[in-house]
Structures are given as C-alpha cells and as structure tokens.
Amino acid sequence: MADTVSAPPAGDRSTIVGKRRAGDTVFLGLSMTASISIMIILAGVAIFLIIKGLPAITGDWSQGDLAGYQNGSWTNFWEYVGPLLWGSIWAALIAMVLGTPVAIGIALFISHYAPRRIAGALGYIVDLLAAVPSIVFGLWGIIVMRPLLIPLGEFLNTYFGWIPLFAGSPSSTGSTLLTGSVVLAVMILPIVTSITREIFLQTPRLHEEAALALGATRWEMIRLSVFPYARSGMVSATLLGLGRALGETMAIALIISPSLIYSVLILTDGYNSQTIAANIALNFPIATDLQRSALIGTGLMLFVVSLAVNILARYIISATGPGAKGRKKGKRS
C-alpha cells in the first residue's frame, strides 16, 4: 500500500511559509516604524496648529492687536480666514484647469506616442521640474510671464469682458491672478504627469493589442482601453496636484498684488484674493504674538483642506481603481 503524506497542522504556518529571515524582520520593523512615525508627525503638526491658533480662533477681534488687523474690520476669525480660503482654492482651481489637460497630454505622449529615447529624455525633464525651487518659479513668473500675459489680458478683457472672470480694468503690470495661476499650473505638471504616465503604462498590454487587432486607431485604442483603466488614477493625480497648488507660497507672494476680499477677477491689479500660504509668508515676520496666532490659525484651515483633498484622492483610488469591483464582490459574499 502506498505511503500517505500527512498534511501539516492547520495552525502551523512555519511549515508552509518557512522561517522568517533576519532581513525580512528588519525591513518589516523599519517599514512599520516609518508608518507610525508619519502618523505621529501628522498628529503633532495638527496639535501644534490647534494649540497655537486657538487664541485667535476663539479671541475677540474687536480689540487688542487683532482690531483692524491688515486694515480689516473683522469681528471674528472666520471673517478673516474666509477670503483667504477662497483665494487659495480659487487660485488652485484655475491652475488645475490650465495645467491638468497639459499634464495628461504630456503623460499620454510619453507613454504611447513618443519613441523610446525621446520618451525617456522627456520624462526625465518633466521629473526634473519637481526639483526647481518655488522662488525660481516666482522669479520666472515676474520676469517672463508677467509681461508676456499683459496682451492676453487686454484681449480677454476687450472681447470677453462680459464674463465676470475677465471684467474690470486689465492690469498694466501683469501682477494678476492669471499670471500666478499659470505659474502654479507649471509647478503641478511634474506631479500630475508622473502619476498619470505610470498609470497609462500599467494598462494591460492585451487590452491595447485586442483593440488594435479589431481595427481601432491608436486614439480609439487609448480612448476605449487606456482611459477607462486609468480613470481613477487620473482623478487621484489631479487631486494630489490640487493639494500641491493649495500650499504654494512664494510664487504667488511674488507675482500677484492681493487683497483680503472675495473676488473672481483674474486680470486686475489689487482685486486678487490673497492665498493663505502667501499671506502667512508676507505677514509672519512683522506680526505680534496674537497676530501670529491668527496666521497659524489660517494655516490650520489650510492643513484641514489639504488633508481632505488627499483623503478624497485615496478614497477614489480605493473605490474605483483596478480590483475595486473584486473587493466589493468579496465583501458581499
């Protein structure tokens, strides 16, 4: 009678997986430490902002150092932070509208159209943009983009002034929200392009070849095979770029001439809504203790908005990304 091989005990994983090597144990410990450290640092930043900003958030803005701060008649913190939040979100949204289509187009060209040598060089150049300091982008915006966009602003105001965005007196200096948003759009290119490029390259090759074999052109193949697969990644890349644009400081501080107002104008001087990051950079060195508390409180609001944007991006990836349908079916079963 043939010898029978007995199965290992149900709870004995060592006979199936094998003993864990020392390197695996060290790597697991380092990874876990890094993950916990990120959470601790994030919580520490949030606690710091809350503690330092609380005196101004709950304080009386009708007297003391906060009375008439930055030439405003604020009665509470929320009246002060409202225009700043609006300016931050408005500038970032304009930058996303201008930069996202260009970034996706560059990523698509690198992944599916450009020859391999050109694609590698172009991808390296795009990634290199992420290493350029913000102050350099700001100087580029002042010296190059401001005079370059003055004729465009006059054209938009002359022929499309009936649209609220292009109303008002066009700037003669170029220190407008349009110029700042164009610079922001260039600054978010590396993030959106890099993420979407990698997602495009992960499209199953069989899907692309099947579409081409059925007679689809290259654009039809991209539209029917690549875009559906990469939809969630494109959205998440856009939201991560939005988070980058929300926190930009020096480029906006150097370029636009801001005011603490609610405004949608993008071609005028002095009627551009200020952003939170630029406002902190410009006013923190000369502020009193209570005024610094107010600035830190606005930083807390920006922290919350940026965190919400990144959480939304992660949720979209997990809810609509590859394998999401399988995970949903597994939960139902």
Write the CB contacts of 6 (distance below 8 Å, at least 6 apart in sequence): none
Contact 123, 198 (CB under 8 A): no
Q: Residue 181 and residue 198: Cα distance in Å, rounded? A: 26
- Secondary structure (3-state) at 148: helix
Q: Residue 146 and residue 151: Cα distance in Å, rounded? A: 10
Q: Residue 196 and residue 188: Cα distance in Å, rounded? A: 12
Q: What is the identity of the amino acid at 63? A: Q
> DSSP string of 273-325?
EPPHHHHHHHHGGG--HHHHHHHHHHHHHHHHHHHHHHHHHHHHHHHHSTTHH
Token look-up 């020096």 returns 250
- Cα angle value 117/121/122 (rounded, 5°): 115
Q: Indicate whether this model's pTM tops 0.75.
A: yes
Q: Residue 329 and residue 242: Cα distance in Å, rounded? A: 32
Segment 277-321, tens digit of pLDDT? 888 988 888 888 999 999 999 999 999 998 888 888 778 777 765
Q: 228: which 2 tokens?
A: 């559906």
Model pLDDT, residue 168: 84
pLDDT mean by block of 10 residues, the chain; 333 residues: 51 52 84 92 93 90 84 87 91 92 93 87 86 88 91 90 87 87 91 90 88 87 89 86 82 82 86 86 88 92 88 77 56 55
